[in-house]
Structure 1
Amino acid sequence: MPGSAQIISYIAALGLAAAIPGPGMTALVARSVSTGAVAGFAMLAGLILGDLFYLSVSVFGLALIAHSWSSLFTLINWAAALYLAWLAWQFWRTNPQAVDIAQKATKKDLASAWLSGLTITLGNPKTIAFYLAILPLVMSLDNVSLPIWGMVLVPLTVLILFVVGAVFILAALKIRHFLSSAAAQRILFRSAGLIMLLAAVGMVAKTF
């Protein structure tokens, strides 16, 4: 089992990485403002599930195979960058209306929010690069057992991402009244689109 110092290092690294605004957290704030807390937490669930997928892939070594095939890893980066660029375009061209903050999210809104969170994370290979970089600080990937993965890494990852995501959601709700106008919504969505576009450009730049 990993020691307390290793666990604290993992918590600190993951918490800091999650707290730095990126495509996921930016979209989470936009969704929370436009559709409310329930939809925000639905998107957060999707984001966390995507992280757990990449965590599992990293732990059990499949990512090491992809990483050793540089051409495949480059292709993944390009595909993910194109996806993020498409999301950026969707955010930028959105023509939002003023938000009725009293309106509750529908089941369709919740399903859309969850799927968006999942696809944003899965479309970002930087997530798997993070786990490949930080996990060796916690333990040897060659010696990871199923109990360590299921009883230590998964619960810690879920807890950290939930806490950080909840802070973003609650902060968005605090200022939701001020961001509910169509003009504010347009600025928010275009800001999210710009961040996603920059993330896509950065991913492509790393392949050269």
Structure 2
Amino acid sequence: MIPTNDLLLFAGAALLMVLTPGPNMIYLISRSICQGRKAGVVSLFGVIAGFLVHMLAAAIGLTALLLAVPLAYEVLRWAGAAYLLWLAWQALGPGARSLFEPRQLPPDSTTRLFVMGFLTNALNPKIAVFYLSVFPQFVSPERGSLFLQSITLGGTQIMVSFSVNLLVALFAAGMASWFARNPAWLVLQRWVMGFVLAALAVRLALEQRRA
């Protein structure tokens, strides 16, 4: 199985990923602020269901297939870099808003909250890029079943993501209120987020394909 040190390193990478603002975090924060904590938590369970789709896809070998086809890997790598640059532009461009600025969204039913959370994550290219670029670095045929190794990695990533996003869903309204009283921090948060996303995009674009 996967050595403990490698698993901890992977958990650290998963933590960095979940702390990088993307569609999941934007949706959870918006729902929690507009419709309350319960709506945020229901949406989070939908997001977790989306993670299961990505995890199973990686576990059954889709990641290995894409890595075996240079063109597919390159397309996804550049698409991921472009996506991160777009997120950076959303943070820094004209009319940009912080994640914690309240957004007006109409109330949704519990079922719709779950489904929208699921679709937001299942169709999230950030997750696909993470699984594609990081999973292969932590699995090895010498350690036994690749399927079980992938499930272990996926389960670890899901637990990290659930823990962080649960805190986001529960305390988004409080954080939004604090930022509303301290508007200068909203600007700083946007610029820090924008530069981090741009740096990640450059790093992904310059990343060499693993043999």
Please give the TM-score of this superposition, normalised by the length of structure 1.
0.65
**Structure 2, unaligned stretches of length 5 or more?**
none
Number of positions where the alignment pairs a residue of Structure 1 with one of Structure 2: 198
Amino acid at match of 2:144: S
**Structure 1, unaligned stretches of length 5 or more?**
none
For residues 107-147 of structure 1, give each alpha carbon's deviation from its aligned partner in whole angstroms, at most 9, with x where no partner exists: 299576665444445465233222222233994345x37xx
Contact residue 51 and residue 127 of structure 1 kept, 8 A: no
1:107 matched residue in structure 2: 108
Shift of 1:67: 0.7
Distance 1:131 1:187 in 2: 33
Contact residue 9 and residue 138 of structure 1 kept, 8 A: no
1:133 matched residue in structure 2: 137
1:92 matched residue in structure 2: 92
Distance 1:195 1:114 in 2: 26
Query: Percent identity, aligned pairs only?
Result: 17
Contact residue 32 and residue 169 of structure 1 kept, 8 A: yes
Query: CA 1:95–1:195 in structure 2 vs 1: closer, same or farther (change >3 Å)?
Result: same
The 3-state SS of whatever aligns with 2:176 is coil
77-86 or 187-196, which deviates more: 187-196
Distance 1:169 1:137 in 2: 38
Contact residue 92 and residue 191 of structure 2 kept, 8 A: yes
Contact residue 135 and residue 150 of structure 2 kept, 8 A: no
Distance 1:100 1:84 in 2: 23
Contact residue 66 and residue 72 of structure 1 kept, 8 A: yes
Shift of 1:194: 2.7
Does residue 1:198 correspond to 2:193, yes or no? no
The 3-state SS of whatever aligns with 2:140 is helix
Shift of 1:68: 1.8
Amino acid at match of 1:59: A
Query: CA 1:55–1:116 in structure 2 vs 1: closer, same or farther (change >3 Å)?
Result: closer
Shift of 1:188: 2.8
Contact residue 21 and residue 193 of structure 2 kept, 8 A: yes
Shift of 1:203: 0.9
Please give the TM-score of this superposition, normalised by the length of structure 2.
0.64
57-66 or 107-116, which deviates more: 107-116
Query: CA 1:106–1:165 in structure 2 vs 1: closer, same or farther (change >3 Å)?
Result: same
